[in-house]
Structures are given as C-alpha cells and as structure tokens.
Amino acid sequence: MTTLLIATSNPGKVSELAAMLKDLDCQVIGFADLPENPPAIEETGQTFAENALLKAEHYHRLTGLTALADDSGLEVDALDGRPGVYSARYGGEHLSSTEQVQLLLSELKDVPVPKRTARFVCCIALVGNGINKTFESSCEGSIAYEPRGENGFGYDPVFVDAELGLTFAELSREEKAPRSHRGKAFLQARQFLAEWLKS
C-alpha cells in the first residue's frame, strides 16, 4: 500500500485532508507519524505553486515517501493582495494565528464593507516516484469586522464566504470542504490520486 505523507506541521490540516482521503487505497500519515520531525525548508517561492512544490520535493527527497504539500493564503484586495504567500508568517514568525488575524483586522479597520473583498488561494503539490503535479483553486469572500465561529484555523474566523454570508469558522468541516480553496484544490488532487493508485 502506498504511504502518503501530508507534509505540514499543522495537525488541523493533516486531519482535514486525511478525512477526505479515507476511502482511497493508501495510508495517510503526518509528521507526527515519522520517527523524527524532518527539517523544514524555507519557503522562498514567489507564488503558492512554487512554495508548494518546494515543500513536496523537499519532503519526498528526505523521506522517500510520496509527499503532498500545500501552500495557501489569503489575498485581500484593499491590501494589494497581502498577506498572500506570507499569510502564515504575516507580521513576523513570532505572531500567533490569533495575533495575525488581529493585525489584519487593524489594517482594515477603516475599510468599508464593499471594499473588504478577499479570496483564499490554495495550491497543492504532489511529488513522488514518477509524479510531480500541482493543483490550484480559490474561493471568493470578504473580511469580517471581527472573528466569528469556533471551527477551522488561521484566517477562517474572519473570512466570510461570498455565497453563504458565514465565516469559514462558522461552517462544519463537511460544509467547508467543498467550498474552500483547499477543498477544491484537494478534490483535483484526490481525483488524480485515485486514478494513479489504480494504475
């Protein structure tokens, strides 16, 4: 059976993706399942695709396992697309996720509702023996004035889905999966994996 390494140190992301792969013929593991945590690689790419590939290639090289890595982030129109590829490090490495959200809200405090448009973007890279693929998707929304909801992680509590009017943190995992940037990109990767595992 193929072992697929979800190459992220975010346990929320590992469980979210593992749940979406549970019926495929592969064993899904995260860093916690390895004998030791592999060293991280600096994300020097200028795009989500470049960073996702950097990570997937790095962890495939280190472990020999088929590695799935993603790079995702929030692009806010009123901030000229920031935080973008720096979403996970916005404001500096020392800031917690909650502090990053507060920083974002403070930068948008005087921005009216019509100009608070934003999108989440995700690129997933899959690298293994004979595989080097990327899958990208996005979802449109806007930034709330304050965090809402208890689910999700990162910027989910302030990202309002354009159609539902609810933040991603107000949605259950099942509701969020088909709508989110990661869910849509992952669906593409999952379809590819399903065919590849059969071959």
CATH number at residue 109: 3.90.950.10
Please identify which residue in the block is written with the tokens 């995700």: 122
pLDDT of residue 10: 79
Q: How far apart, in whole angstroms, are the C-alpha atoms of residue 15 and residue 13? A: 6
The arithmetic mean of pLDDT across residues 117-131, rounded, is 95
Q: How far apart, in whole angstroms, are the C-alpha atoms of residue 157 and residue 44? A: 27
Number of domains in the chain: 1
Tokens of 137: 């998707």
The arithmetic mean of pLDDT across residues 98-102, rounded, is 96
Give the residue numbers annotated as catalytic, written as ranges: 71
pTM, two decimal places: 0.88
Percent of the chain residues topping a pLDDT of 90: 71
Checking if the pLDDT of 104 tops 80, the result is yes
pLDDT of residue 120: 97
Checking if the pLDDT of 16 tops 80, the result is no
Mean predicted lDDT score pLDDT of the chain: 93
Per the structure, the complete domain to which residue 21 belongs is given by 2-198
Q: How far apart, in whole angstroms, are the C-alpha atoms of residue 163 and residue 154? A: 20
Kindly report, residue by residue over 56-74, the tens digit of the pLDDT: 999 999 999 999 999 999 9
69, 9 Cβ separation under 8 angstroms = no
Q: How far apart, in whole angstroms, are the C-alpha atoms of residue 69 and residue 40? A: 12
Contacts of 86 (CB under 8 A, 6+ apart): 73
Q: Greater confidence, 156 or 130?
A: 156
The arithmetic mean of pLDDT across residues 129-144, rounded, is 96
169, 163 Cβ separation under 8 angstroms = no
Q: Greater confidence, 80 or 24?
A: 80
The arithmetic mean of pLDDT across residues 46-58, rounded, is 96
